[in-house]
Amino acid sequence: MKDPRIWGLKKSPWVYHVAAASCNNCDIEILELLTPRYDVERFGVVLVGSPRHADALLVTGVLNRKSLPRVLEVYEQTPKPCLVIGIGTCTCGKQIFRNSYNAVGPYDKHLPIHALVPGCPPKPEAMILGVVKALSKL
């Protein structure tokens, strides 16, 4: 028998947005997904206010020394199995912040990343595709 939690996660993922240290471009595009133009809620994707209720984490921004422990704490609070989706170029490889003294590396050094969505900022269509790609890995 299949695990009901995984079945529910595939049908209606609840996501929690973690903004580590971003410029808010990715954050604005994530909020655009909730507008009537894209309306991801019709697919069951709901933005929740607590990591304890989330099935997936949308992470944005560059990991720095101050935000790393907080991002790891949020990841530990999410019930497992938990998908982690990196949104934006900063999550892929630091890009303009790659030589910064404060950056601690891309997310995949510290968290299991299931999908990366490049772009600065990425288009909403690309973010929807990234969520679908991550869900297909279950």
Which residues, 6+ apart, have CB-to-CB distance to 72 below 8 Å? 110, 111
* Tens digits of residue pLDDT in 46-82: 889 899 999 889 998 888 888 899 999 999 999 888 8
The pLDDT assigned to 1 comes to 45
Task: Show the domains of the chain with their CATH numbers.
Answer: 4-136 (3.40.50.12280)
Q: For residue 63, which of 30, 97, 29, 31 has the smallest C-alpha distance?
A: 97
Give me 54's structure tokens. 């989330």
Strand pairing report for 115-117 and 83-87: parallel
Give me 120's structure tokens. 């600065």
Q: What is the pTM of this model?
A: 0.85
The pLDDT assigned to 2 comes to 61
The pLDDT assigned to 4 comes to 58
* Residues of the chain below pLDDT 50: 1
Q: For residue 44, which of 131, 134, 136 has the smallest C-alpha distance?
A: 131
Note the Cα 111 to chain centre separation in Å.
Answer: 11
Give, in degrees to the nearest 5, the angle at Cα 20 between 127 and 13: 40
- Looking at 1-138, list the stretches that DSSP marks H as alpha helix, in order from N- to C-terminal side: 4-11, 25-32, 68-77, 89-93, 124-136
The pLDDT assigned to 3 comes to 62
Give, in degrees to the nearest 5, the angle at Cα 117 between 112 and 121: 130
